[in-house]
Amino acid sequence: MINPAAGTSGGQHCSDFLPTNRQEMLARGWDELDILFVSGDAYIDHPAFGVPLLARFMAHYGYRVGILAQPDWRQPQAFSVMGRPRLFAAVSAGAMDSMVNHYTAARKLRRNDAYTPGGKAGARPNRAVIAYTAALKGVFKGVPVVVGGIEASLRRLAHFDYWTEQVRRSVLVDAKADLLIYGMAENTLLELARRCCAGESPAQIMNLPGTAVVCPDIPPGALELPSYEAVSNDPEAFGRAFRLAAEEGNPYSGRAVAQRHGNRWVLVNPPSLPLSQTELDGIYALPFSRKPHPGYRESIPAFEQIRFSVTSHRGCCGGCAFCAIASHQGKIIQSRSQASIVSEVTDMARDKGFRGTITDVGGPTANMYGMSCGNIKARKSCRRDGCLFPQPCRHLVIEDQAAASLLEKVRRLPGVKHVFVASGIRLDLLERQPAYFQQLLKHHVGGLLKVAPETLSDKVARIMRKPGAALFNRFLKQFRAYSRALDKRQSVVPYLIAGHPGCTLGDMVDTALFLKENGMRVEQVQEFTPTPGTLATCMYHTGVDPYSDTPVAVARSARERRLQKALLLSHLPENRDDVLQALQICGREDVAAQLLGAPPANMPKKAGPPRRSRRRPPKRPSRGK
């Protein structure tokens, strides 16, 4: 937690921040909060972090808010330092799901936490939403608790939990919270506060967009999903529930969905409407100090990473199977005005620590800035969960000049020497954005351009809902031609996923050969982690694509996942034995010399296919519920 005795640090005063303790409340003349925000992250007063952004937003509308950052969930008094809130407590696990934050894809405990001072692990509990809600309910009897953030959003319905290999109930039921807000919560939270001021209880508000609530009966007009009991025992029912809920994700026309949990129902209302550009600009104009709270004595890695970055837009219309962004931020692109972004960078350049480099201008996908649906009628009735797969929607307006113009304006600002784009780039859009592509390579690549094709197998790409190898080949040729024309020595670093549903060792061999033939090496390989709420996790659990009922191969054993990863990192000497073993399993020993650089002197004994592990993962040390 924040050191309450600290007053200043680096010229920043506690008065520049929202209250984090009783002393800071009293300094503002407050004896009571309206809303108490509880977060699993350290308090960094920067718009890149959800809880500080929402707290600033609510303070702008006159609500007295305080932030309790990383309270010790084992100590009840840690939750009472600012007293009982008048309206409700708002709980978030932080910018990351707490289980993903704590464990690797191999379910091994991580040793660091980028959102904690000093990068130290252990500052938040497992399943933080549940643990924080329980602590608040214990300290403040009867206080309404509203849960939100990425952890709550993706667990709003019954969901598969990778860490226990079981289907769990809605987090709203397990946490015994009064209301769940999913997605980007500004207007939903504001309306909730207004209705609470009018005397309504969060647990009784059944019709607020962007929320989920427990109710005794299914409301008229709501779409009934297979029950928790059904999806727990029947993979087919699980897939059907996932598909039905996803089809109602349009904020303009989606219906409420309801899922029975025992003798109660979890009602999920349609998503809240996207923000207008004026609304989004207003949020980023709020008086953020853009610093960690001065009570911290150690640096916070996540802050150092985003300190001089700019969020240009929200939402992603890619619809990738493994990604949860659309389920949380939505697929509708919400872009800030160029004037708003220029104003933020101008203020940033006045910071004493600024050295002239903007580390990123982007969003979930950098080159989606300015994009929109060109047909309002079609947008309001659309049931697609993405706009690019299998082909870009004919109504999608793929903007080029706006993004290119934005980068040009930012790099010409006084005090700005370098502007980089570190956010993801969608390659199937980039080939339709020649102006952005050329600007990117000429001015915004620091020698290495990191792109995320995720796979180079066409079969796996279709399952991932990503473009295939042919498009990546075209991109490489263009990239190299542009770089030669600019007389720049630049390279591409591809990010790839191992162990994704549908991916086999044979697919990874083909991918490894592609990399070798094109003179490329990957720096890191992401091992697929099934996280709640994604299509890929549904396929991992059920072994079936819920939209086509087609069986999907799933790499469940640690051995197979390790071998897939080794193939992508075949250039590392320590992976040699694993690569040879993978090639023998596939019957592809003939390419060993091509991958490893020289014919192996002695091939290991013929290996059989990886066994499917049916054992449950071992229990990990508990750090809360």
Residues that constitute the known binding site: 316, 320, 323
pLDDT digit string, tens, across residues 142-169: 999 999 999 999 999 999 999 999 999 9
Binned at pLDDT 50, 70 and 90, residue 619 comes out as very low
| Distance, CA of 290 to CA of 3 (rounded, Å) | 19
Domain 8-205 shares a fold with domain 308-444: no
590 and 513 Cβ atoms separated by less than 8 Å: no
- pLDDT at position 326: 84
**Which CA distances in Å does 422 have to 51, 366, 445, 619?**
23, 8, 9, 37
pLDDT digit string, tens, across residues 212-254: 999 999 999 999 999 999 999 999 999 999 999 999 999 999 9
* H helix runs in 307-417, sequence order: 325-328, 338-349, 376-381, 401-411
pLDDT digit string, tens, across residues 329-371: 999 999 999 999 999 999 999 999 999 999 999 999 999 999 9
268 and 245 Cβ atoms separated by less than 8 Å: yes
Least-confidence region, from 190-199, 492-501, 613-622: 613-622
Binned at pLDDT 50, 70 and 90, residue 1 comes out as low
Residues that constitute the known binding site for [4Fe-4S] cluster: 316, 320, 323
- pLDDT at position 14: 74
How do the domains of the chain map onto residue ranges? 8-205, 214-273, 308-444, 448-618
- pLDDT at position 607: 46
279 and 60 Cβ atoms separated by less than 8 Å: no
- The architecture CATH gives domain 308-444: 2-Layer Sandwich (3.30)
**Which CA distances in Å does 189 have to 90, 142, 193, 337, 447?**
9, 20, 6, 24, 43
Mean pLDDT over 481-499 rounds to: 92
Token couple for 224: 């009934």
- pLDDT at position 570: 93
What is the maximum span of the chain, computed from C-alpha positions, in angstroms? 79
| Distance, CA of 586 to CA of 61 (rounded, Å) | 62
The count of other CB atoms within 10 Å of the CB of residue 39 is 29
Query: Which residues are within 8 A (CB) of 614 and not within 5 positions of it... i.e. 6 or more apart?
Result: none
Give the position of tokens 């079969």: 459
Classify burial at 186, counting beta carbons within 10 Å of its beta carbon; exposed 0-12, middle 13-18, buried 19 or more: buried
| Distance, CA of 317 to CA of 281 (rounded, Å) | 21
154 and 532 Cβ atoms separated by less than 8 Å: yes
- 448-618: in CATH 3.30.750.200: yes
- pLDDT at position 66: 98
| Distance, CA of 311 to CA of 50 (rounded, Å) | 12
Helices H / strands E in the chain, number of each: 24, 24
Residue 569 is given by DSSP the state T
- 8-205: in CATH 3.40.50.280: yes
* pLDDT over 60 (residue 16): yes
177 and 147 Cβ atoms separated by less than 8 Å: yes
